[in-house]
Structures are given as C-alpha cells and as structure tokens.
Structure 1
Amino acid sequence: MSEINYVRGDATVPSVRGVKLIAHVCNDIGGWGKGFVLALSRRWPEPEAAFRAWHRDRAANDFGLGACQFVQVERYVWVANMVGQRGIRTGSKGVPVRYEAIDAALGRLADKALELDASVHMPRIGCGLAGGKWSRVEPLITERLVSRGIAVTVYDHGD
C-alpha cells in the first residue's frame, strides 16, 4: 500500500499531471473567510460561491456535517468543499473539528476521486482553524483514500 506524500508548498497549485481534486474542510454555519479558503478564493471564485449557495439552500439539499460538494474550477481541477467542523469557535464543546464528519466526507471524496481517476491534494485538513490533531486525521485519510489506491499529497505551507 502506498502512503501519503508530504510536500512543502501550496495545495492550490498541485504540480502533477492528470485530474486533481483539492480537498479542504469547511464549517457547518456557512462561514468562508479565514484559513485555506482564502488561498482558494484568490485563485478561483467558484468554490466560495458554490459553498455559500449550498449553505443558503441547505433546507433543500444535503448540506451538513459529513457532506461534500465538488466544484470544477479548471478542466482538470476540482475543489472538494467538505463540511467537517461544527461552527468556528472553540467553546464548551471543545474545538470545532468533527472527526466523524471528516471521515464521512473523505469517503465521498474517495468515491469522486475514483470516478474522475483523480489524485487528491490538501493542506493538513481539520488542523488549522478547526483545531484538530493530525494524529487523528491522518489515519482517516489513509483508510478512506490511500487504502483504495488514491494518490494523496498533503501540503505544508512554506513560509
């Protein structure tokens, strides 16, 4: 079985051939304005617009923890908006990250990656503003994606 490939760089510019899925974690309250989403929005307006519409119309769709929205931004590039955090603040119920929601969204991401024959690219999802621990997220990625033969690259931003 292959492993996750770790590189230093920007997950919004994967330098591999073929179809690419850029995955990141969103919150369940429709907020978009801090963290990795800013890098996405600097490159493409579509993921934010699609996410906001998905949240706005949530009574009539599948928006919620564990859901995944796929937005095509270039011929060979898709962005996966994965709802994996409850709210945006650490409070009495702990940090916003929801590992079970990330796990469910990763399952949907895997299905889409296989359908598109795509590689997956992401920052350390759920570990920035969501407050998660990589030691809990990494095994989910290995189980849901790597074990199914999907090439996964995780980007650590080089400053």
Structure 2
Amino acid sequence: MSMTKIIYKTGDATVPDTSGSAVIAQICNDLGRWGKGFVVAVSARWKQPELAYRDWYEQREFNDFGLGAVQFVRVTPDVHVANMIGQHGIRSSAGGAPIRYEAVDQALEKLAEFAAVSNASVQMPRIGCGLAGGSWDRIEPLIHARLSSRSISVVVYDLE
C-alpha cells in the first residue's frame, strides 16, 4: 500500500477543505469535561459532538468510554466529528502532561478503520498538542503509521 503525505494548511479545521466525506478528529479528555481548546470551535459550529460526548460519558458504565475509545458523530451528510479519548485528566501533574500517546494511537487506529470504510479524508488541528500538552514530534509519526500508511488523506490545520 502506498503512503500519502500529511497536508498542512493554514485555516479552520472545523471547515474541512474537501469535496467528499470527511472526519474531523479531535482529542477529548476522560473526565467528561468539555469547554476549552478545539472542542470550543467544534461546539460553535455544531452542538451534536458535545451533546454526544456528554451522553457517552454519562453512560460510561454501559459503553466503551475511556482512553483510546472513539465516538463518531455525524454533523452533516458528509462530515463526522471523531471524539477521541486521548487525554487523562485536564491538567499537567508530576506524572506529566494529560496526553496519553498510547490512547491516541489506539484512537487513530479506530479512526483509520472508520475513514477507510467511509472513504473519508481526515481533517484535524495538531491534535493533542494544545491543552493536552503533547508533542507533534510524537503524534505525527502515529498519524503516519495509522492513517497515511493506508493512503488515507490527512489534512492538518494551523490557525492563522
């Protein structure tokens, strides 16, 4: 299988630059908290991802909510938002930043499966590198391994 390159663009990741199906990927925490970071931009555009995440968290005793899990929420006929649980807690501590690279890797694997079946591109900000405290030098190789290596188109947006 051929490998595609990650495309880097300046712009808003909530406005996917694609004519086909797309999945907008974002990292969420495992505490049921929503209100800072990229999720705010998502909520400003669509209510469904936040409502679905909060319900997923509230029902966690009966579902797969937890590190490495992914919830796919349809927001338009051609666009889904992937709520990926890749952050333990919301604050850095003596144990380090909230990012959990293994959970991000597991979530990206699920994202790849969904994108392949849906024939969708993946659009995202530099996931895990804001409030989660992650390093793009560690996340980018995971994206290559899970998505680009399967010829899934990935566009990463940096705000102006």
TM-score range, shorter chain: over 0.9
Structure 1 unmatched ranges of 5 or more? none
Aligned residue type for 1:76: D
Displacement of 1:49: 0.1
- Secondary structure in 2 aligned to 1:5? strand
1:96 to 95, 98, 106: 98
How far apart, CA to CA, are the structure 2 residues paired with 1:63 and 1:108? 13
| Matching residue of 1:38 | 40
Tell me which residue corresponds to 2:149: 147
Q: CA deviation at 1:2?
A: 1.8
Structure 1 residue aligned with 2:74: 72
User: Aligned residue pairs: how many?
Assistant: 158
Per-residue deviation, 1:3: 0.7
Match of 1:84 among 80, 83, 86: 86
SS in structure 2 at match of 1:114: helix
- Using the size of structure 2 for normalisation, the TM-score is 0.98
Deviation, structure 1 residue 15: 1.7
| Residue 59 of structure 1: aligned partner | 61
Q: State the 4+ residue runs in structure 1 displaced beyond 4 angstroms.
A: none
For structure 2, list consecutive stretches of 5 or more residues without a partner in the other structure.
none
What are the superposed Cα offsets for residues 9-65 of structure 1, whole Å, 9 maximum, x if unpaired? Answer: 000001211001000000000010001000000000000000000000000000000
Deviations 1:98-134 (A, max 9, x none): 0000000000000000111000000000000000000
Distance 1:34 1:57 in 2: 22
CA distance in structure 2 between the aligned counterparts of 1:56 and 1:92, rounded to whole angstroms: 28
**In structure 1, what is the Cα distance between the partners aligned to 2:90 and 2:147?**
26
Corresponding residue for residue 28 of structure 1: 30
